[in-house]
Amino acid sequence: MRLKRLRYKFLLMLSLLFVASFLFCGCTKVDNTQNDNYKWGEMKVEESLPLEYATQFTVDYYEGGYTLITIGDTDRYLIVPENMSCPEGLDKDIYVMYKPFNKVYLAATSAMDLIRAIGGLDNVAFSGTKADDWYIDEAKDAMENGFIKYAGKYSAPDFELLISGGCNLAVESTMILHNPEIREQLLEVGIPVLVERSSYESHPLGRMEWIKLYGVLMDKTEEAEQYFDSQVDAVADIMDRDDTGLTVAFFYVTANGSVNIRKSGDYVSKMIELAGGEYIFADMNDDENALSTTTIQMEEFYAKAKDADILIYNSTIAGTLPDMESLLKLSDLFNDFKAVQSGNVFCTEKNMFQESTGFGDMILDINKILTDSDVSDDELTYLYRLK
């Protein structure tokens, strides 16, 4: 324990040599100041970032080039332009972050694809996911070629690597809230920490709209807005069509034989609805916790989903299924399912949940299997039919 404390103190001292400013609630010290005339209480919002679906963040642009990001109505981050100082009298609950953000430690997996889509991978220097665990080719290639270094998972980052590499922003998912001491240590060594909450968005296009936040951070707002608009346009016709009246179950079987399903307010159930389907568990909404999924017994799943028109097996946790026989081995009860008998059982590809920009394509996939009983795997992006 003593050695661990000594090592941490050493890293803290080392950070003084590599980090120019320190982050904490309220104003922070900065070396390159040019303007101290701005007073927070007197500053006005010039405009706000337009959002169509996202509800978990806002962006307000203040005079002088300052940007205030609010996440989840509680966390506020002031983005200070290069060579500018923190405004006087800033609220003490506001985190201050100084541009540029060009050596990012990306511990939030879902953000990688959004950053890739706007051409921002050059801003990512460290990853919390190993190269072999990425399904995003550009991220995998960047790590294999040494452009992005593995800096440890969110709960055990390589502080020495981050400090020596000049990390100037850590983007974390809400998983970091389970390890608050790690967040505090990152802050203490001068690395700003932004906790994103895209997983709290109930609308799939709301999740995708977080691309605009990364556009703000990486000065690629125009690219982000153009990409998002193109994805919305791609599914606009589908969302305007009448429902098909067909029912869909989205699930996977756990190791102990129970069944994990999405709750009714989850973004996956919303994708099914947007595609024209009816989520079979639309009345399933356990308010006891904030999780988007719940686990039920196989018998309950059988009673509810036996007559569903389409089954979609979620491969994210349990892995992909190679064929229908693999599904039947999970439980003999599947033999009685309407979708099994009609051959309308599909499985997700593992890359679906890493590719945050693919929600539009997933909605298109679901619409295709709802409207075309003969759809082939070649026509689908994230789904394939079990045979």
**Residues in contact with 195: Cβ distance below 8 Å, sequence separation at least 6, in sequence order:** 71, 75, 172, 173, 174, 176, 177, 183
356 domain-assigned = yes
Residue 211 has pLDDT above 70, yes or no: yes
Q: What pLDDT score was predicted for residue 30?
A: 36
Q: Is 233 exposed, middle or buried (0-12, 13-18, 19+ CB in 10 A)?
A: exposed
Confidence of residue 104 (pLDDT cuts 50, 70, 90): very high
Which 3 state secondary structure label does DSSP give 189?
A: coil
As given in the structure block, the two tokens for residue 326 are 């693999």
Same-domain status, 52 and 125:
yes
Indicate if the pLDDT at residue 239 is higher than 90. Answer: no
Percent of the chain with pLDDT over 90: 79
Mean pLDDT for the stretch of residues 272-296? 82
Between residues 17 and 13, the one the model is more confident about: 13
**What is the pLDDT confidence band of residue 74, given thresholds at 50, 70 and 90?**
confident
- Taking alpha carbons only, the member of 301, 381, 315, 385 closest to residue 348 is 315
Confidence of residue 319 (pLDDT cuts 50, 70, 90): confident
Q: How far is residue 381's CA from residue 8's CA, in Å, rounded to a whole number?
A: 46
Answer whether residue 323 is part of any domain.
yes
Q: What's the Rg (C-alpha) of the chain?
A: 23
Q: Residue 287: its pLDDT value, please?
A: 54
pLDDT of residue 286: 56
Domains in the chain: how many in total?
2
pLDDT of 309 > 80? The answer is: yes
* pLDDT of the residue at 276: 96
Q: What is the pLDDT of residues 347-365, one digit of tens each?
A: 998 777 788 888 999 999 9
- Looking at residue 73, its pLDDT comes to 83
* Closest alpha carbon to 361 in 383, 384, 386: 383
Mean pLDDT over each residue of the chain, to the nearest integer: 89
Q: What is the pLDDT of residue 3?
A: 44
Q: Is residue 235 part of a domain?
A: no
* CATH number for the domain harbouring residue 365: 3.40.50.1980
Residues 166 and 91 in one domain: yes
3-state secondary structure of 261: strand
Q: pTM of the entire structure?
A: 0.86
Pick from 230, 261, 281: which residue ends a domain? Answer: 230
3-state secondary structure 101-162: CCCEEECCCCHHHHHHHCCCHHHEEEECCCHHHCCCHHHHHHHHCCCCEECCCCCCCCHHHH
Tokens encoding 299: 């018998």
Is the pLDDT reported for residue 155 higher than 50?
yes
Give the structural domain span for 275: 241-385
Residues 93, 25 share a domain: yes
